[in-house]
Amino acid sequence: MATSMNRKSKTHKFGGLICTSHEFEVPLDYANPNRAQISLFVREVISAEHSENAENMPVLLFLQGGPGFGADRPESASGWMKRALKTHRVMLIDERGTGLSNAVTHETLATLANATMQAEYLKFFRADNIVRDCEMVRKALLGEKKWTVLGQSYGGFCATTYLSFAPEGLAGAIMTGGLPPLVNCPDDVYRATYKMTIEKNKIFYDQFPDDVKKVRKIVDCLYGEKVLLPTGEILSPSRFLQLGLNFGFNSAGRSMTTIHYMMENAFVQTSAQPKLSYQFLRNVESMNPFNTNPIYALLHESIYCQKQASDWSAERMVQDFQEFSHDHDPVCFTGETIYPFMFDEYECLKPLKEAAQILAEFKDWPALYDIEVLKSNSVPCSATIYYNDLYVDRVLAEETGKTICGAKYWITNEYEHDGIREDGEKILDRLLEMLG
């Protein structure tokens, strides 16, 4: 197997933290380790007050949500990290294809000769290989010492894959809003999350009833004329309605309230007639991450696939819900769903359209979970299940919690999906206590 030797280490001290960066070379394909190597970045964080004893502290590995997003960039000991650093060394890994770990972007994918090669490359960026990376890093940094994994959202999916295929590396597993549905394709997932998205729309319009007319006016405007975003991209009704992706958050800047405030100044009065304002268009442009984080679009449906193709599941399933028709009253925003139109409208996704189609048709995705291993699990596990989660269906999450032997889970309606960002210190403290 190719080497996992540490290439570089750099240490920075700020905000009461000591951060050491580690870089590794790991195989792109662990089954063919000599085929190609990719870089992997890990940031180790300790509290300055524990610097002399850090080597003796237990280690907490944080896996970020997504897929396709790099790890947190800490500035101080706050939120969940404040609690973690009281008792642990923290490892923040940029999962492969994100952050400083050979980031996948439209620029980097353009270096591959064609769409087939792009798709073949991207097949190695799911949870199974993320777990293999984690194990290589653990052995390189800790030897045979085990660590506890904290997985937020998709990070919890990865943690469950970890429990399935490399439980010997884990002292414990904590999942926040991340007990994955143990399915073989996304259809059942979207049937459930579309229903929750409809509920979130009802909540939105109950809170802001005047927005029923505002949203209709915006959608009618986008149907009636060609509207360009500041980037030069077309703003279609479908792209505008993807702002509902934020309906499952409470964090500042990403919530229903954020979308409501955006629409307060959606139109500006010109000498001729009202038109959508630059400020509004700029805000719409910045709210969704698909241009900057293409893995989120390219691989999102595949995170549910085991030996089956996704076949554009969200696009197929939406046909069962007339509420998402644009002539429905009120107009419904969509949620965390990926559609073919995005590869015609998002500038950085356009050159990846053919690769996206190949991935949607691919049937031979390897297994992400081993149900029998999970049923006989012996690793201590604790988790939050958010009752009204827009992104991870509560019922499917509960089924997973019951499948993982010994798992303890806390069902709460006190938080939304981003509870760990809103009240991370309290949530992590409780989950660590549940872990035992």
* pLDDT tens by residue, 161-200: 999 999 999 999 999 999 999 999 999 999 999 999 999 9
β-bridge pairing 17-27 and 37-47: antiparallel
Nearest alpha-carbon partner for 235 in 270, 286, 201: 286
Contact 305, 76 (CB under 8 A): no
The mean pLDDT of 101-107, rounded to a whole number, is 97
* pLDDT at 8 (0 to 100): 63
Neighbours of 11 (CB within 10 A): 9
Distance CA 229, CA 250 (A): 26
11: left (phi over 0), alpha (psi -120 to 50) or beta: beta
pTM, two decimals, is: 0.95
Hey, which residues are catalytic here? Answer: 153, 364, 417
Distance CA 335, CA 195 (A): 10
Neighbours of 60 (CB within 10 A): 26
Long-range CB contacts for residues 225-233, cutoff 8 Å, separation at least 24 = 227/276, 227/281, 228/281, 229/281, 229/282, 229/284, 229/285, 230/278, 230/281, 230/282, 230/285, 231/285, 231/347, 232/347, 233/285, 233/345, 233/346, 233/347
Does the pLDDT at position 252 exceed 90?
Answer: no
The mean pLDDT of 292-320, rounded to a whole number, is 98
Cα–Cα separations (whole angstroms), residue 302 to 311, 354, 357: 10, 16, 12
* pLDDT at 2 (0 to 100): 38
Among the ranges given (46-50, 272-276, 363-367, 394-398), the one the predictor scored with the smallest mean pLDDT: 272-276
In tens, the pLDDT along 343-369 reads 999 999 999 999 999 999 999 999 999
Contact 343, 356 (CB under 8 A): yes
Mean per-residue pLDDT of the chain: 95
Does the pLDDT at position 3 exceed 80?
Answer: no
Residue with tokens 């499952």: 248
Distance CA 31, CA 430 (A): 39
The mean pLDDT of 316-325, rounded to a whole number, is 97
400: left (phi over 0), alpha (psi -120 to 50) or beta: alpha
Distance CA 417, CA 388 (A): 8
Among the ranges given (116-130, 146-160, 257-271, 339-353), the one the predictor scored with the smallest mean pLDDT: 257-271
Distance CA 106, CA 116 (A): 15
